[in-house]
Structure 1
Amino acid sequence: MGLRHLGRELALKALYRVDICGGASNDDLVLFFETFPAEDSARRFAVQLLEGVRREQDVLDKHLAGALEHWSIKRLSRVDHNVLRMALYELLFMPDIPARVTMDEAIELAKQYGDIESGRFVNGVLDEIAGRLGLRQKLDDRIASTPE
């Protein structure tokens, strides 16, 4: 398991905790991260995601709301919502991470922590957002230019 994958898992768990508890102080989050064994680089990545998602939450939710057909953000499960927020944060604010990697990781997290339909749902929403943000062409170009 890669360090960024572990960081994403930690960030998802922390975001879920924040949702359940109605917020968390920095001390709460420090204690939370200390309870999960992980290398420092995985924790740093998790904190970067967590802080970014919390800081840009309104922007992320606006993009998500626009991509949901016949659905509202309030109806999303906490897991699906936070997986989508993290993936969208990576897509918008972390250009060093390839879009395909972000999307694949989000789908895997949704399958692992969500319900039976979460992987497909997250895939569909992220595909819609990728089209709206002009990322679909970048994804297709990367796949076409990758040597087999």
Structure 2
Amino acid sequence: MGDRRQARELALQALFFFDIEKSDPEQSLELFCEENEEKLIEAVKPFFLDLVKGVLENSSQIDALLNKYSKNWKISRMPVVDRNIMRVAIFEFLKCPDIPTSVTINEAVEIGKKYGTRDSGAFINGVLDRIRSLEGFK
């Protein structure tokens, strides 16, 4: 597994934890990093931290886009895994112009297939592609 894929998967796990626990994100992040120290190797940790902190810091903008383009789905009703995979991807759309959106979508779909339900890949692909197309991300 590549370093960026590992960072994305760990970011999903951390955000999932924060979403379920509803605790202080800074303390939760510190605890998550301690518990996953062996996975957060030097090549993975910086991108992981960028993703997690970026999603947390930009959550209003990210959730607004997610809410706007997820037809018939309120964010609160989405599967927690799918919701957080898409949050990471939308953060990449917004703040990581060096990553092609096609790569971001593909990574999100693959992670969704691995951690989500059998419908996660298609759902994630549909919502992210709609955001990419209608918001003009390249």
Coarse TM-score class (shorter-chain normalised): over 0.9
Structure 1 position 25, deviation (Å): 4.5
State the secondary structure of the residue aligned to 1:40: coil
Whether 2:134 is the aligned partner of 1:127: answer no
Which structure 1 residue ranges, 5 or more long, are not aligned?
139-148
- From 34, 50, 63, the equivalent of 1:48 is 50
Which structure 2 residue ranges, 5 or more long, are not aligned?
none
- Give percent identity, aligned residues only: 40
Displaced runs of 4+ in structure 1, greater than 4 A? none
Q: TM-score, normalised by structure 2?
A: 0.92
**CA distance in structure 2 between the partners assigned to 1:27 and 1:40 by the alignment:** 21
The worse-fitting range, judged by mean Cα deviation, of 18-27 and 120-129 is: 18-27
Corresponding residue of 2:15: 15
Whether 2:62 is the aligned partner of 1:60: answer yes
Q: Is the 8 A contact 2:18 2:25 kept in 1?
A: no
Corresponding residue of 1:28: 28
The aligned length equals: 136
| CA spacing shift, 1:62–1:27, aligned 2, 3 Å | closer
Corresponding residue of 1:146: none
Q: Is the 8 A contact 1:16 1:79 kept in 2?
A: yes
Q: Which amino acid aligns with 2:21?
A: C
State the secondary structure of the residue aligned to 2:71: coil
The worse-fitting range, judged by mean Cα deviation, of 29-38 and 68-77 is: 29-38
**CA distance in structure 1 between the partners assigned to 2:117 and 2:28 by the alignment:** 28
**CA distance in structure 1 between the partners assigned to 2:100 and 2:106 by the alignment:** 10
| CA spacing shift, 1:53–1:25, aligned 2, 3 Å | closer
Structure 1 position 31, deviation (Å): 2.8
Structure 1 position 99, deviation (Å): 1.0
- From 91, 94, 105, the equivalent of 2:93 is 91
State the secondary structure of the residue aligned to 1:105: helix
Q: Is the 8 A contact 2:19 2:80 kept in 1?
A: yes
Q: Is the 8 A contact 1:83 1:109 kept in 2?
A: yes
